Amino acid sequence: MRKRKNWYFVLGLILTALSVGYSALGLFWTPYSSTAMVGADRYALPSLAHPFGCDHMGRDVFSRTLEGASATLTIALAVIVIGFMAGLVIGALCGYYGGAADAVVMRICDAIAAFPSVLLGLVILALTGPGKYNVILALGILFIPSFARLVRGEFLKYRDRDFVRAARLMGVSPLRILFSHILPNTWPVLLSGLTIGFNNAVLAEASMSYLGIGVGPGDTSLGRMISEAQSYFTTAPWLVLFPALVTVLLILGAGMLGEGIRERLGED
Amino acid sequence: MAEPIVNIRHLNSWYGKGKERRQVLRDVSLTLAAGETLGIVGESGSGKTTLAKCVLGMVTDYQGTLQVNSPRPQMVFQDPYGSLNPARTVGWFLEEALRASGVGDRGERRARALDMLTQVGLTGEHYGRRPGQLSGGQRQRVSIAAALIQGSKLIVLDEPVSALDVTLQAQILQLLADLRARYQLSYLFISHDLAVVYQLCDRVCVLYHGQVVEEGGLDTVYDHPRHDYTKKLLAASLALD
């Protein structure tokens, strides 16, 4: 039996490796300081010294995308870790046990999901104030319902399977049944859900920073760069082009990787 | 007389909740002696699976006397494709049963899992395989191994061979008979197939609409059926042979 080449997986892996590597680089090294302003370099076109050019304040765009990408990546990862962990626990318990508690929790999730997320993010940030950690917290909370719903559906599907019944008869503890027996079967769906969640987190961070309620003015993030660059779109398009390109690369890679993972694990 | 391993007296059981709740078992009485195999026969909906679930403690909505004198009775399920965890290896699954019963030593668990595989006619090469890499017959052997590995003396067999073809049926039935002798097991054998019941059971109990309509030794029931329903069942299974 010849396996079809899984192009989504291969391409997704390459793109993800590139964009994550790029973002990781920004954590440790940038050619210039991302905040150093050089008056003579204002609106400098891309060149050997400044591969992505310079912005309206004479800051190196390459350095800024490096740092912005690492900030965006960290925020997106932290957001899906919070959303996924909480969603996993809530969804697993609701799906496996069901009953009245499940109904109540799911209605709460519905209520959160029915609210426009940007609006809800605004409310949370209005209460906590802007800043990187508050953005993570706000988005993390917003991401819990969708993960909980996904996980719940999967656990609901498996709770009455014979192999789960067999485990119960053997006296396996409920916690082990949840996370050692059922969970491994749900990875194909959960992993592709995670990559979609990652994409949404990148976009959500970008749109919140774009709206000016994301990371603080001193911080750099891809969304903030795009937001600042929009006024110079006609005069200095490279200011918006490069951060947008890095954002697309990040999202495209994760999206394709998710599709590839599902194809790869779902074949069994 | 030794105490029976299962003693059921006037058992009534219900399925569903609220308005949907309906009675499945009506005044069922039966016993299973240690070392004995009792066939529970009936069509789908007759209540035989509910009866099995009562014995296993999976159904709790019942009234009457239900004594099970065996720690942790186990079940072999009908569908060998659903009863094994697709994400785990055979060895992991067998060892999980041992972990659940408190066998702490990794080496001992492995040794006992490997031993149990040979007891059911498999080999160490199946230890690391996942269910997807096994045939239906091999999977059913693994299910049987998993049911036995905790040392349970009472095993409920829920149509264990009806998903298999005839040659495999004979092999699995032979294996069940061998294991019964080797480990002094008692079987509650649920089936709709009287021909299969005849090969393995000592006694048979016919369920019809949740009631026991006939119960006795194989010869009595097969040669001199009293109830019309038993006669019909016999005629149907003979016609298939």
Please give the pLDDT value at position A27.
Answer: 86
pLDDT, averaged across chain A: 88
Q: Which of B215, B209, B189 is nearest to B201 (CA)?
A: B189
Please give the pLDDT value at position B80.
Answer: 87
Which residues of chain A carry a pLDDT beneath 50? 1, 268
Closest-approach residue (CA) in chain B for A172:
B100
Q: How many Å apart are CA B135 and CA B165, to the nearest integer?
A: 12
Q: Tokens at residue B28, please?
A: 């069922």
Please give the pLDDT value at position A3.
Answer: 61
pLDDT in tens, B170-220: 999 999 999 999 999 999 999 988 889 999 999 999 999 999 999 999 888
Please give the pLDDT value at position B205.
Answer: 94
Asked if B83 and A164 touch (Cβ cutoff 8 Å), the reply is: no
Sheet holding B62-68, edge to edge: B22-32, B6-15, B62-68
Please give the pLDDT value at position B35.
Answer: 92
- Alpha-carbon distance B9 to nearest alpha carbon in chain A (angstroms): 23
Q: Which of A260, A259, A257 is nearest to A19 (CA)?
A: A257
Q: B101 at the A interface (CB within 8 A)?
A: yes
Grade residue B239 by pLDDT with cuts at 50, 70 and 90.
Answer: low
Please give the pLDDT value at position B207.
Answer: 93
Please give the pLDDT value at position B1.
Answer: 54
> Which residue out of B96, B98, B101, B134 would a mutagenesis test of the A interface target, given it has the greatest number of A Cβ atoms within 10 Å?
B96
Distances (CA, A) of A253 to A8, A64, A75, A197, A241: 9, 21, 17, 13, 18
Grade residue B241 by pLDDT with cuts at 50, 70 and 90.
Answer: low
Strand B37-41 to B186-191 pairing = parallel
Amino acid, single-letter form, for residue B201: C
pTM over 0.80: yes
Grade residue B100 by pLDDT with cuts at 50, 70 and 90.
Answer: very high
Q: Which of A190, A180, A191, A181 is nearest to A154 (CA)?
A: A190
Share of chain B above pLDDT 70, in %: 98
Which of B73, B87, B146 is facing A185, going by the closest CB pair? B87
Q: How many Å apart are CA B130 and CA B111, to the nearest integer?
A: 19
- Assess whether pLDDT exceeds 60 at residue B93: yes
For residue A168, list chain B residues with Cβ-Cβ distance below 8 A: 58
Which of A169, A184, A185 is facing B56, going by the closest CB pair? A169
Please give the pLDDT value at position B240.
Answer: 57
Q: How many Å apart are CA B124 and CA B112, to the nearest integer?
A: 11
Q: Do B96 and A161 count as a contact with CB atoms less than 8 A apart?
A: no
For residue B102, list chain A residues with Cβ-Cβ distance below 8 A: none
Which of B75, B86, B101 is facing A185, going by the closest CB pair? B86
Please give the pLDDT value at position A125.
Answer: 84
Burial (0-12, 13-18, 19+ Cβ within 10 Å), B181: exposed
Asked if B208 and B225 touch (Cβ cutoff 8 Å), the reply is: no
Distances (CA, A) of A60 to A22, A41, A50, A230, B215: 16, 8, 6, 17, 90
pLDDT in tens, B25-41: 999 999 999 999 999 99
Please give the pLDDT value at position A1.
Answer: 44
* H or E element that contains B56: helix B48-56
Show which residues on chain A lie within 8 Å of chain B, measured between beta carbons: 161-163, 165-173, 176, 180-181, 184-185, 187, 268
Q: Tokens at residue B194, please?
A: 């009287």
pLDDT in tens, A93-145: 999 999 999 999 999 999 888 888 778 888 888 888 878 888 899 899 999 99
Please give the pLDDT value at position B5.
Answer: 94
- Assess whether pLDDT exceeds 80 at residue B165: yes
Q: How many Å apart are CA B2 and CA A209, to the nearest integer?
A: 78
Q: Do B58 and A181 count as a contact with CB atoms less than 8 A apart?
A: no
Asked if A60 and A32 touch (Cβ cutoff 8 Å), the reply is: yes
Q: Do A162 and B88 count as a contact with CB atoms less than 8 A apart?
A: no
pLDDT in tens, B154-163: 999 999 998 8
Which of A161, A165, A172 is facing B96, going by the closest CB pair? A172
Please give the pLDDT value at position A268.
Answer: 46
